[in-house]
Amino acid sequence: MKQDVTETIVELCAELATQVEDYFRQNDVRRELSHKERKQLQGSVGLLVKDALIGHATHPYAPVPISLRSNTYSSTHIEYRDVPYRMHVKYVYPALKDMGYLQLLKKGYLDRAQGKGKREIYAVTDKLIDFFKFDEPIDMEFSNDTLATRLTVSNQSVPVSPPVVVSTKNGPVKDVHIPPETKAHKAIRGRVKRLNEYLKQHWIDLKLTPEQWVEMSRGWKDRNGDYHTLNLTKRSLYRVFHDDKLKTGGRFYGGWWQEIPSNFRQNIIVDGKETVECDFSGLHPSILYAKEKHPIPADPYGPIAGSKHRDIIKRCFNAMLNSKSRTTRAPKEIDIRPIGMKWSKIVDRIEQFHAPIKHHFFTSAGMWLMREDSELAEAIMFDYFTAPLQFCLPIHDSFIVHWSWETDLTERMEEAFKNRYGVKPKIKVTKRRRTKAKAPPELVSAEDFTLEQLYNAMNQPHVIRNTLFKHSNSPY
């Protein structure tokens, strides 16, 4: 490509920003903007348009969330990078809707007293699509080779976030900041940057049926009720610690594959290849038992209240590890009613079953345990990325690699854990729904396919994106 597509988008966003500024004057929203405010306006237009465009590239008129919380807009936030709340939410976003470039899909709200709210949902309009020529094919060979698709695969579109941030919570308010510059901070930051350089060499996508794409395009809610949509440009990781000395937390965040509903993870492909996911089974209890020189239980959760309540017990176990002090009731985000026991009884059962490590409950041990598991994750990722053409995607205590590397990954995970704690951990493998042939397929020639069949096979969205990524970014 003669010019990176992001440069084209920037130029068109500058034109649109001029229209928004004219709208401000004509509607007496803002009279004259300072040089600084004009730069803020351009940044806000660029962010709103780019997010809407990338959503639309994934699926037509896909919904995109926007936060209404003022504390979301900081220099450390991965989604709202250096965009002031007032300019973005109060001025530019309403203007683009009123001008017909964006459409409201679902109204959000903000309860300042409770520090709670729901993101608002918007999408592109035909007017914005026409302005940017989103859907016009650039290369007539593929109908999906559009400005929007090229923007999605461009490495210039990958969100840039500080590699290391500290997140602390005071009541409902989170404080996210960059930690003081120290030798340890500099070393961790450098390693995160290296991992992101490796990630940029690979295209990460989903292989879905048309029906699955429709389902995915509707978005999903997390445990807090916040709305999320797929953004394939989020291929950059950052680490979140929970204290300035970087002793607690440290897990990797930022990848879109970490955010999607777990039932879609089996559809993840990297560089066009199908994948497998392996995870440490009961990682935090395994670490604690290993440190106490006790055998690791085969299942740290299932026997406590029966296998059907395993997930609830797991959440209760983690809540007990993360809590600073003993609590008299279950956390409000955990529904313990299906178990049919009071919180005190559940706590007793868990402590009895885990007697060798019970002294770690209600001590915030989960905070330093996250530091431990993030170090394991970093070691395993570097073990893969330093080899040519290999990849490894982290999801905290699990990892995604090419499906044929399953045995290799489990061995590397076991080795990393044993090197650190002296014993072998339990590994669980999530099998993909791979269709095996009942008999060897017959060899066929190109003449056995119709032109339409060949065209459709080459023109699938994930195939187009992978091809364009290789042409524009891959060093291989």
| pLDDT tens-digit readout, 437-455 | 444 445 455 555 555 555 5
Q: Given a cut of 80, is residue 156 above it in pLDDT?
A: yes
Q: What is the residue extent of each domain of the chain? A: 1-157+448-476
Average pLDDT of the residues in 145-164: 86
According to the model, what pLDDT value does residue 81 have?
A: 64
**Dihedral-angle region of residue 363 (phi above 0 means left; psi in -120 to 50 means alpha; beta otherwise):** alpha
According to the model, what pLDDT value does residue 464 have?
A: 86
Per DSSP, the three-state class of 170 is strand
Q: Give the pLDDT confidence of 86-107 residue by residue, as tens digits.
A: 999 999 999 999 999 999 998 9
According to the model, what pLDDT value does residue 296 have?
A: 95
Q: 110: which strand partners?
A: 117
According to the model, what pLDDT value does residue 227 have?
A: 80
In terms of average pLDDT, the best of 114-118, 225-229, 373-377 is 373-377
Residue with tokens 């999605």: 152
Q: Given a cut of 50, is residue 417 above it in pLDDT?
A: yes
Higher pLDDT, 271 or 73: 271
Q: Give the pLDDT confidence of 31-63 residue by residue, as tens digits.
A: 788 999 999 999 999 999 989 998 888 888 989
Q: 117: which strand partners?
A: 110
According to the model, what pLDDT value does residue 437 have?
A: 40
Q: Which residues of 268-278 are buried (b: 16+ CB within 10 A; e: fewer)?
A: bbbbebbbbbb
Q: What is the mean pLDDT of the chain?
A: 87
DSSP calls for 301-324 = SHHHH-GGGHHHHHHHHHHHHH-S
DSSP calls for 103-161 = EEEE--EEETTTTEEE-EEEEE-HHHHHHHTTTSBSSTT-TT-BHHHHHHH-GGGSPP-
Q: Which stretches within 300-400 are classed as H helix? A: 302-305, 310-322, 343-353, 365-385
Q: Given a cut of 60, is residue 321 above it in pLDDT?
A: yes
Read off the amino acid at residue 46.
Answer: G
Q: 428: which strand partners?
A: 279
Q: Which stretches within 363-460 are classed as H helix? A: 365-385, 406-421, 451-458
Question: In angstroms, rounded to a whole number, what is the distance separating the alpha carbons of residues 210 and 229?
Answer: 17
Q: Given a cut of 70, is residue 202 above it in pLDDT?
A: yes
Helix 406-421 and helix 365-385, axial crossing angle in degrees, nearest 10: 130
Q: Given a cut of 80, is residue 385 above it in pLDDT?
A: yes
Q: How many CB atoms lie within 10 A of CB 201?
A: 17
* Tally: H helices and E strands in the chain: 17, 17
Question: In angstroms, rounded to a whole number, what is the distance separating the alpha carbons of residues 232 and 204?
Answer: 8
According to the model, what pLDDT value does residue 57 have?
A: 85
Parallel/antiparallel/unpaired status of strands 273-280 and 427-430: antiparallel
Q: Given a cut of 80, is residue 388 above it in pLDDT?
A: no
Pair 280, 396: CB distance under 8 Å = no
Question: In angstroms, rounded to a whole number, what is the distance separating the alpha carbons of residues 317 and 354?
Answer: 10
According to the model, what pLDDT value does residue 176 have?
A: 84
**Dihedral-angle region of residue 71 (phi above 0 means left; psi in -120 to 50 means alpha; beta otherwise):** alpha
**128: CB partners within 8 A, 6+ apart:** 49, 52, 101, 102, 134
Per DSSP, the three-state class of 430 is strand
